[in-house]
Amino acid sequence: MISSATSLPQPQHKPFTRMQSVGLVFVCTILGAAAQILMKNGVNQMTHFSLMQAVRNVPLLAGYCLYGINTLLLMLALRDGELSMLYPIIALTYVWVTMLSTYFFNEHISLAKIAGIMVIVGGVTVLGRATSKA
């Protein structure tokens, strides 16, 4: 049994370049936003909450799958990339979800919503920088 960290083999993978990590995270934000839209569409179709209804709900299941794929890809992207650079990109998901919500569900965009999202994206950006330094 391997018990000490020093006896571990060196990582085998070839690290992503900065551009590859950024590109992958960007793709993740779009997948993540699409997953949310699918899930919302799915739960809108449900009359009540039952497991039988949920497992037959195609948009809901598709949303879950996309969310799972998105999580795995995100872990891969975060492996080599710097958090300070990737966190603000991840926060773009909030922007996409809001834009897609107006398109698919006719939700209203107010100045307060736009301001709120900008403040949250700012907060996540600061958090990414703070976490990288620590």
Output the smallest distance, CB 122 to other proteins, in A. Answer: 5
Pick from 29, 125, 11: which is nearest to 79 by CA?
A: 11
Nearest alpha carbon to residue 28 among 100, 80, 93, 85: 93
DSSP one-letter string for 88-100: HHHTHHHHHHHHH
Nearest approach, Cβ of 37 to other proteins (angstroms)?
A: 7
DSSP state of 56: T
Beta-carbon contacts of residue 129 (< 8 Å; ≥ 6 apart):
84, 87
Shortest Å, Cβ 10 to other proteins:
13
Residue ranges that bind other proteins, judged by CB under 8 A: 1-3, 5, 8, 36-37, 39-40, 42-44, 46, 49, 60, 64, 67, 91, 94, 97-98, 101-102, 105, 107-110, 112-113, 115-127, 129-131, 133-134
**What span, in angstroms and rounded, lies between the C-alpha atoms of 59 and 73?**
21
Cβ proximity to other proteins: between 23 and 95 the closer is 95
Q: Which CB sits closer to other proteins, 10 or 110?
A: 110
Of 25 and 97, which has the nearer Cβ to other proteins?
Answer: 97
Nearer to other proteins, 49 or 52 (CB): 49
Q: How far is the CB of 67 from other proteins (least distance, A)?
A: 8
Give CA–CA dist 70/76, Å, rounded.
Answer: 10
